[in-house]
Amino acid sequence: MTLSPDVLPLGFAEAIKRDMQIWLERAVIGLNLCPFAKSVHVKGQIHWVVSPARDVPGVQDDLVRELQDLQASDPAQRDTTLLVLPMCFGDFLDFNDFLAQADVLLKALGLRGELQIASFHPQFQFAGTDADDIANYTNRSPYPTLHLLREASIDRAVEVFPEAESIYEKNMQVLEQLGHEGWDALGLGRLAKDVTPEGGAGGTP
């Protein structure tokens, strides 16, 4: 795990990573919301970064650094990066607005077509849905998170799973069958309640 230059307390950062790994294992992998996640997790190819950034410029600095580091690293060692933002973007609309800036940074770095940026948020909400719609939970994580992916890895995954476009519909069905009670039974709602420092943006699904 990497800590950004303005380092958070190690115990807090480790708790953030623990929460995220529980979410990854119980929800993303456990419910098979992403059929490609298990392999990189088991192989230790996910690079975890817990950012102390409390504002947009700080997040931008971290994002630029992690995009460049991912591009320069060996894919066999670092296939993907999860940049976790526990201290910023507690409001989903602010986070959603930032994604346009993130795409501009990706283009400015000349990395569009090589890397992609996906996103997760504890308050994620699809357009046209109610806040408590179970479908929103497919993209909810304990903390605001930017997921940096390699285009080449996505292409290889699609070759193995050619009906990748059907994942979205399948995930909706999984969550509808699970329901709120089933989601609550995963124990994700208890994450981070005792570890978020004052001023942090952490939240739970």
Q: What is the pLDDT of residues 153-198, one digit of tens each?
A: 888 877 777 666 678 888 989 999 999 999 999 988 766 545 455 4
Residue 85's SS3 state is coil
Q: How many angstroms separate the Cα of 147 from the Cα of each of 85, 120, 139?
A: 11, 8, 11
Domain of residue 149, residue span:
2-190
22 part of a folded domain: yes
Instruction: Name the domain count of the chain.
Output: 1
Closest listed residue to residue 70, CA positions, set 161, 150, 153: 150
Residue 16 counted as domain residue = yes
Q: 36-65 pLDDT, tens per residue?
A: 898 999 999 999 999 999 999 999 999 999
User: Is 55 within a domain?
Assistant: yes
User: How many Å apart are CA 18 and CA 12, to the nearest integer?
Assistant: 10
Report angle CA 65, 71, 161 to the nearest 5 degrees: 125
Q: How far apart are alpha carbons 200 and 175 in whole angstroms?
A: 29
Domain presence at residue 83: yes
* Domain annotation covers residue 204: no
Domain-embedded: residue 56? yes
In a domain, 103, yes or no: yes
Domain-located, residue 202: no
